[in-house]
Amino acid sequence: MTDSIRTIPVRVQPSYDVSIGSGLLGRCGDYLAALLGQRKIAVLTDDTVAPLYLDTVTAALEGAGFTVCSHVFPAGEGHKDLSTLAELLEFLSSEHLTRTDCVAALGGGVVGDMAGFAAAVYLRGIRYVQLPTTLLAAVDSSVGGKTAVDLTAGKNLAGAFCQPAAVICDTDCLKTLPPDVFADGAAEAVKTGVLSDEGLFALFEDGTLTADPGEVIARCVAYKAGVVERDEKEQGERKLLNLGHTVGHAIEKCSGYAIPHGHAVAAGLAVIARSAETLGWTKEPIAGRIAACLAKNGLPTGTDFSAEALAEAALSDKKRAGGDITLVIPRKIGACQLRKVPVAELLPIIRAGLEA
Ligand code: NAD
Ligand code: MG
């Protein structure tokens, strides 16, 4: 759109750009019209985001010649389910969207995952764009094409790989985030630093995340884009993005999803870092530095759930394959590795992280 905008390409088939900058929601119409052609667009969002940003997006799209319809559903992970998905699909069909029309997901990861899934299955797939409004959606969920809803048995158990046609991240949206929701995104961003780059990690230790979120988002997205380009369907390298997520998902599940994803991932990251250090899998001491960084960003560094409860919850997770579970183990800040362990070893590994 202009020079002040950071653009990160995601080179999958077909490739798309992630645009990051201030004021982009108000300017998204012309950009999307050039990309998609003026057509009908269904903006799907939740009832917290709608009063903040729906009018801006609608005006921008209509101003660029789109015919806009919108549907607002209740906010929160508790609504990321099949009944909301059904509601979205019925809405798209009641609006007579055709395969040449388009969906816009305006919101956080819940909206993005659900609207993306609706777009992936409606008429066997129509195009969609992501307009992330949380830090978590900006650094993580809006990029990479994973879409899903939760089932009773667990999170994200029904979904599809379906890449967006564009991601437009307006950093001004972060200003209205409650601190806890901002922190959720910081957890995935800190995770990215531990995975990829000590220099990026240091930005979370020195407060750059709040001072210049666009810089941090761009670096996180660039890393994720590279991983997704090399392993779109999570056959190998993309599994690294699950750092902190085995224990994190278990914490979410044990809490009945009362603990939000990012907070759970932060605790899961702190636990697996302590496990890795205690078990001698790290190249240098890292657990204390990771915990301090998470705490500085308003995130938890542990959990009250028992190792037994967490291991049981983790082993019902969809990523378990046969008798082994693949864990992401931090070796040092900026380098992690996949480690396949027998499921029976998970309990002592988690215990090492809780008790250390
Ligand atoms: P969320 O979408 O529930 O948003 C959190 C809260 O913030 C909601 O109440 C929302 O209405 C509100 N909100 C959103 N934008 C706002 C703004 N700008 N100002 C004020 N309030 C705002 O949660 P999230 O943390 O964005 O996303 C979590 C979800 O993302 C989980 O379901 C998780 O499974 C999913 N996820 C998906 C991927 C992926 O690759 N697809 C990756 C990571 C996480
Ligand atoms: Mg995550």
**In a shared domain, residues 79 and 187:** no
* Mean pLDDT for the stretch of residues 148-160: 92
* Mean pLDDT for the stretch of residues 61-76: 98
Q: Which residues are catalytic?
A: 124, 146, 188, 224, 234, 238, 242, 245, 249, 261
Phi, psi of 339 (to 5 degrees): -135, 115
Of ligand 1's atoms, which has the minimum distance to the CA of residue 155? 34
Amino acid at 241: L
Rounded distance from Cα 169 to ligand 1 centre (Å): 13
The answer to whether the annotation marks 157 as part of a ligand binding site is no
**In a shared domain, residues 258 and 139:** no
List the beta bridge partners of residue 154.
151
Rounded distance from Cα 277 to ligand 2 centre (Å): 22
Instruction: Give the residue whose CA is nearest to atom 7 of ligand 1.
Output: 181
Q: Is the CB of 244 within 6 Å of ligand 1? A: no
Rounded distance from Cα 29 to ligand 1 centre (Å): 23
**In a shared domain, residues 317 and 291:** yes
At 204-232, the pLDDT tens digits run 999 888 889 999 999 999 999 999 999 99
DSSP 17: E
Burial of 28 (C-beta count, 10 Å sphere; 0-12/13-18/19+): buried
Count structural domains, the chain.
Answer: 2
Instruction: Give the residue whose CA is nearest to atom 2 of ligand 1.
Output: 108
Question: Would residue 35 count as lying in a domain?
Answer: yes
Using pLDDT thresholds of 50, 70 and 90, give the confidence band for residue 355.
confident
Q: Are 152 and 118 in contact (CB under 8 A)?
A: no
Indicate if the pLDDT at residue 159 is higher than 60: yes
Rounded distance from Cα 249 to ligand 2 centre (Å): 9
Q: Is the CB of 277 within 6 Å of ligand 1? A: no
Question: Would residue 262 count as lying in a domain?
Answer: yes
CATH number for 108: 3.40.50.1970
Given 176, 208, 240, which residue is the final one in a domain?
A: 176
Closest among 163, 188, 215, 219 to 11, alpha carbons compared: 163
| Other C-beta atoms lying within 10 Å of the C-beta of residue 295 | 13
* Mean pLDDT for the stretch of residues 7-22: 97
Question: Would residue 335 count as lying in a domain?
Answer: yes
The H or E element containing residue 163 is none
* Mean pLDDT for the stretch of residues 163-184: 98
Question: Would residue 28 count as lying in a domain?
Answer: yes
The torsion of the CA quartet 297, 298, 301, 305, rounded to 10 degrees, works out to: -150
Rounded Cα distance between 167 and 132, Å, is 8
Burial of 146 (C-beta count, 10 Å sphere; 0-12/13-18/19+): buried
**In a shared domain, residues 167 and 201:** no
Indicate if the pLDDT at residue 43 is higher than 70: yes
Question: Given this model, what pLDDT does residue 241 score?
Answer: 97
Q: Are 257 and 264 in contact (CB under 8 A)?
A: no
Which domain does 106 fall in, by range? 6-176
**In a shared domain, residues 146 and 197:** no
**In a shared domain, residues 205 and 229:** yes
Of ligand 1's atoms, which has the minimum distance to the CA of residue 188? 43
Enumerate helices (H) and strands (E) in the chain, giving the number of each. Answer: 15, 11
**In a shared domain, residues 104 and 16:** yes
Q: Is 106 helix (H, G, I), strand (E, B) or coil?
A: strand
Indicate if the pLDDT at residue 72 is higher than 70: yes
Q: Is 341 helix (H, G, I), strand (E, B) or coil?
A: strand
At 123-153, the pLDDT tens digits run 999 999 999 999 999 999 999 999 999 998 8
Q: Is 68 helix (H, G, I), strand (E, B) or coil?
A: strand
The answer to whether the annotation marks 326 as part of a ligand binding site is no
Given 176, 191, 208, which residue is the final one in a domain?
A: 176
Instruction: Give the residue whose CA is nearest to atom 38 of ligand 1.
Output: 141
List the beta bridge partners of residue 158.
149
Question: Would residue 304 count as lying in a domain?
Answer: yes
Average pLDDT, the chain: 95
Indicate if the pLDDT at residue 321 is higher than 60: no
**In a shared domain, residues 330 and 307:** yes
**In a shared domain, residues 86 and 186:** no
Closest among 14, 200, 26 to 5, alpha carbons compared: 26
The answer to whether the annotation marks 58 as part of a ligand binding site is no
Rounded Cα distance between 195 and 328, Å, is 9
At 234-261, the pLDDT tens digits run 999 999 999 999 999 999 999 998 999 9
Name the pTM for this structure: 0.95
**In a shared domain, residues 122 and 185:** no
Of the ligands numbered here, which is closest to the C-alpha atom of 45? 1
Indicate if the pLDDT at residue 70 is higher than 90: yes
Indicate if the pLDDT at residue 326 is higher than 60: yes
CATH number for 196: 1.20.1090.10
Question: Would residue 328 count as lying in a domain?
Answer: yes
Question: Given this model, what pLDDT does residue 154 score?
Answer: 81
Q: Is the CB of 107 within 6 Å of ligand 1? A: yes
Rounded distance from Cα 79 to ligand 1 centre (Å): 12
**In a shared domain, residues 194 and 164:** no
The answer to whether the annotation marks 188 as part of a ligand binding site is yes
Question: Would residue 1 count as lying in a domain?
Answer: no
Question: Would residue 27 count as lying in a domain?
Answer: yes
Given 124, 157, 176, which residue is the final one in a domain?
A: 176
CA 261 to chain centre: 9
By most ligand atoms within 8 Å of CB, the mutation choice from 110, 130, 231, 265 for ligand 1 is: 110
DSSP 321: B
Percent of the chain's residues with pLDDT above 70? 97
Using pLDDT thresholds of 50, 70 and 90, give the confidence band for residue 320.
low
Closest among 345, 350, 343 to 322, alpha carbons compared: 343
At 89-118, the pLDDT tens digits run 999 999 999 999 999 999 999 999 999 999
The answer to whether the annotation marks 246 as part of a ligand binding site is no
- What is the ipTM score, two decimals? 0.99
Strand-strand pairing, 324-332 and 335-342: antiparallel
**In a shared domain, residues 331 and 273:** yes
